[in-house]
Structure 1
């Protein structure tokens, strides 16, 4: 029986960052409907998901990563690196198994595939690489860094021109991304598969238990856009809040806090690292703040906060990929004074917090639960795998 092959750039995990969470639910959804094989590199810190992945999938192959000398990593100029051990494992699997279709996560995995691939290929682009490279080119400091990024940007353009013709379908996270893709690649099949959240696992706290004065920010605290957001919160926005709410506290909760984030810790700022479960911190928060002015991540943290019934204050960039109504389901502000004013207003007004949190939760249930987000994939793959589809 031919199967569906899922190739991941890291081990899918329900707790190891937005991309890993998206892949985890993709694997769950697809394995419940089709015979699915998963191949991924070994990922330190994400091992806890392996047993569940093996329970879902027909086969799971986890490939130890090749150790690369530091000078090779520093000298790498291409947009995508290629691990020799993973490349060999993928080619071996394609040679020895019969697959009806394949899904790969991010353009970084395309170089691992043979040029004569004869089965439908689905490319999932959950954070568009070219737009991130453009932002890096304009924001990074120093002539060497900018020169490297300019070179990588040119390589991205050439490589994406190679990527697109090899795909049967491209998955993107928003309608805006779909239209942008169609402008550059007219006639291609582009499917919107938004990022989501497990709304049965992340729920609002019982009525009457909302704490007072806790501003929460979560995420990978070693990721550059999150470092910037944490610094904006601690160094600029929190002082505005403390002027009228002297008991307020900022909590920065997430993986791998960068030294710049660690240095923010103080009497009114707590840095909490590498927690196994984010839900207790969501329940203990009053307001969720995500002051993003750069970045192309998955926005999982914002969806989780909305699912938890928290009022969310963010920027237009922070809300990219999420169709939420400003003023009803989130508070949108695109400069520091407006962000500070929004935080102060929410800390002052419990009724506004409750209304925003309730509307945000309703939006998640209606549009952003994972199974609802992933539903278009069933029809896509059933077209190719209908003779070997299995009952749910």
Structure 2
């Protein structure tokens, strides 16, 4: 097959989120199929990584979109009905480039990443198109409203209403994908969207792999993620303020490490009193190897969390709120312990920190789940199947 990936961000380096998923899916599909890429170039520094993408994609098309253009798009977004995040990526140059590519190539399938890129392929009904979403966005923003205040809550409410209305665009695609069964069920039952399937996030098990995790260290609690991402910022603030003190009452010398790029001021201010903020870490696997447990105390968001999958792949036990757990389709204890309330969350952390055997049992169960369900090889094979199912005769 000849497949075109339409990405909202330059997919390298593949550290987190949007970039990570496109890179790993395309890398694996390129072993059997011809894959092309069209994406925005917002930072010219990304050009240094072009050679890495050329190892995967037969053709790469970069459409310039400056930050100023995106900010202007967002500012004038009040004049339109689309979500602000969709307006942020509005580009007539991208529209023209896609029209050009359609005339040059007969694609067997087009992978459209994120709701942000959905308008570019909305009307190309003669081309097999898959819209791949990280989560059910209206559900994500609904949860975000519940955890916000003041002006932030007003903006989040406006965006949620726009996203809620805009999600109807999913019906214009041959198939839409979300990361978890929770998101799929929400879109089917609450939104009446039928052409929706599940494509989970994955893990590169060649990178995040531990043949023999050391379960003896019992003093380090780890949180990873992009630390300018609102759900992560809220999660670490909540953990430090409401949960970590309960744990320190039982284990006074325990440490909480926040590892992730671009920590905002609210995160940096958490450092001290047993809390360390590392900033960007190139090799996160080293952090997981040192961790006793990983926590995912997210109060809003949707989909599946890379931080949880990576920890499971490394054999590190996780304690998680519903968000970060519900999308995994597992039982509590299969790598992740579900703890929806702060007192229970603290108690589960303490129980794990006090028992190396429990950490090992939970951790090894998680590794097996990753091997059978969340290896990128498995996920890419599933995407290939979806493309074959919508391929035109």
Same fold (TM over 0.5): yes
Deviations 1:146-202 (A, max 9, x none): 4544443333233222x1232111112223333333336768433221111112221
Rounded Cα–Cα distance in structure 1 between residues aligned with 2:34 and 2:383: 14
Instruction: Determine if contact 1:169/1:188 at 8 Å carries over to the other structure.
Output: no
1:319 has 2:325 as partner: yes
- Between the aligned partners of 1:308 and 1:107, the Cα distance in structure 2 is 31
With 355-364 and 85-94 compared, the bigger mean Cα shift is at: 85-94
Change (3 A) 1:147 1:357: closer
Rate the CA distance shift 1:202–1:380 in 2: closer, same or farther, 3 A: same
Structure 2 counterpart SS, 1:221: coil
Corresponding residue of 1:254: 260
1:390 is aligned to none
Instruction: Report deviation, 1:295.
Output: 1.5
Superimposed CA distance per residue, residues 20-78 of structure 1 (whole angstroms, 9 cap, x where no aligned partner): 21111121122222211111112547667533321111111222223426565345343
Q: Is 1:170 aligned with 2:169?
A: no
- Distance across 1 between alignment mates of 2:353 and 2:189: 43
Return 376-385 or 20-29, whichever deviates more.
376-385
Alignment of 1:252-291 (within 5 A): 252-291=258-297
- Give distance in 1, aligned partners of 2:256 and 2:346: 13
- Larger mean CA deviation between 43-52 and 356-365 belongs to 43-52
Name the TM-score, length of structure 1 as normaliser. Answer: 0.89
In structure 2, how many angstroms separate the alpha carbons of the residues matched to 1:47 and 1:226? 29
- Structure 1 residues 197-246: Cα deviation after superposition (integer angstroms, max 9, x where no partner): 11222112635474330100000111111011111222232222222222
Q: Among residues 116, 122, 131, which one is paired with 2:130 in the alignment? A: 122
Q: Out of 91, 102, 113, which is 1:105 matched to?
A: 113
Q: RMSD between aligned alpha carbons?
A: 2.5
Q: What SS class does the counterpart of residue 220 from structure 1 fall into?
A: coil
**Cα deviation, residue 305, structure 1:** 0.3
Q: Superposed, which structure 2 residues align to 1:132-171 within 5 Å?
A: 132-142=140-150, 145-161=152-168, 163-171=169-177
Secondary structure of residue in 1 paired with 2:252 = coil
**Given that residues 144 and 300 in structure 2 are in contact (C-alpha distance below 8 angstroms), is that contact kept between their aligned partners in structure 1?**
no
CA contact (8 A) 1:210 1:283 kept: no
Equivalenced residue count is: 384
Distance in 1 (alpha carbons) for counterparts of 2:214 and 2:170:
52
2:19 aligns with: 20
Instruction: Return the alpha-carbon distance in structure 2 between the equivalents of residues 365 and 204 of structure 1.
Output: 12
Alignment partner for residue 89 of structure 1, among 80, 97, 107? 97
Question: Where do residues 56-95 of structure 1 align in structure 2 (5 Å cutoff)?
Answer: 56-68=56-68, 70=71, 72-77=73-78, 78-79=82-83, 80-81=86-87, 82-95=90-103
Aligned-partner Cα distance in 2 for 1:65–1:307: 36
Listed as ranges, the gaps of 5+ residues in structure 1 are 388-392
Contact 2:122-2:172 at 8 Å conserved across structures: no
- Cα distance in 2 between the residues matched to 1:187 and 1:151: 22
Query: Counterpart of 1:293?
Result: 299
Call closer, same or farther: CA 1:281–1:314 in 2, change over 3 Å. same
What's the CA shift for 1:364? Answer: 1.0
Distance 1:36 1:290, change over 3 A: same
Are the structure 2 counterparts of residues 381 and 15 from structure 1 closer, same or farther at C-alpha, using a change threshold of 3 Å? Answer: closer
Greater mean alpha carbon deviation, residues 358-367 or residues 2-11: 2-11
Q: Does 1:363 align with 2:369?
A: yes
